């Protein structure tokens, strides 16, 4: 799978438009998980589905909820659970850096210089 640099850059830019009080790395979204536009408190993936140029193709679970993991792999090219994916999207960032600016900065760092060797320690606030 090839990292989609253009879509990741779009995500980083879009995150800077999200008010901090509408952002939380712990949850994809608080509710309304069936539409591309978030409209609630959400994380990077919950908010950024609105950037998908083909919202009708966003993968859904049988109950109609968005399959955020599958969507993120297709949109970003980062396999769920990989170091790069966790560096950008892990819920564990909520304890140390739970801001849209921080999430944007991590995506840009990945694009500009790759992930730091101590990324897991940073994520855990060590």
Q: Residue 114: pLDDT band by 50, 70, 90 thresholds?
A: very high
Banded model confidence at residue 43, pLDDT cuts 50, 70, 90: confident
Q: Which residues contact 88 (CB under 8 A, 6 or more apart)?
A: 8, 44, 76, 78, 103, 106, 107, 110
- Look up the pTM and report it: 0.90
pLDDT at 12 over 80: yes
């Amino acid at each position: 799978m090839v990292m989609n640099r253009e879509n990741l850059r779009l995500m980083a830019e879009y995150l800077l438009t999200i008010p901090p009080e509408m952002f939380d790395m712990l949850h994809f979204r608080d509710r309304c998980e069936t539409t591309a536009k978030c409209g609630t408190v959400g994380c990077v993936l919950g908010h950024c589905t609105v950037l998908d140029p083909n919202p009708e193709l966003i993968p859904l679970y049988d109950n109609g909820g968005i399959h955020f993991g599958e969507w993120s792999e297709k949109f970003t090219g980062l396999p769920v659970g990989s170091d790069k994916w966790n560096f950008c999207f892990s819920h564990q960032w909520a304890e140390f850096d739970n801001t849209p600016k921080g999430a944007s900065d991590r995506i840009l760092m990945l694009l500009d210089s790759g992930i730091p060797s101590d990324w897991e320690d940073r994520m855990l606030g060590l």
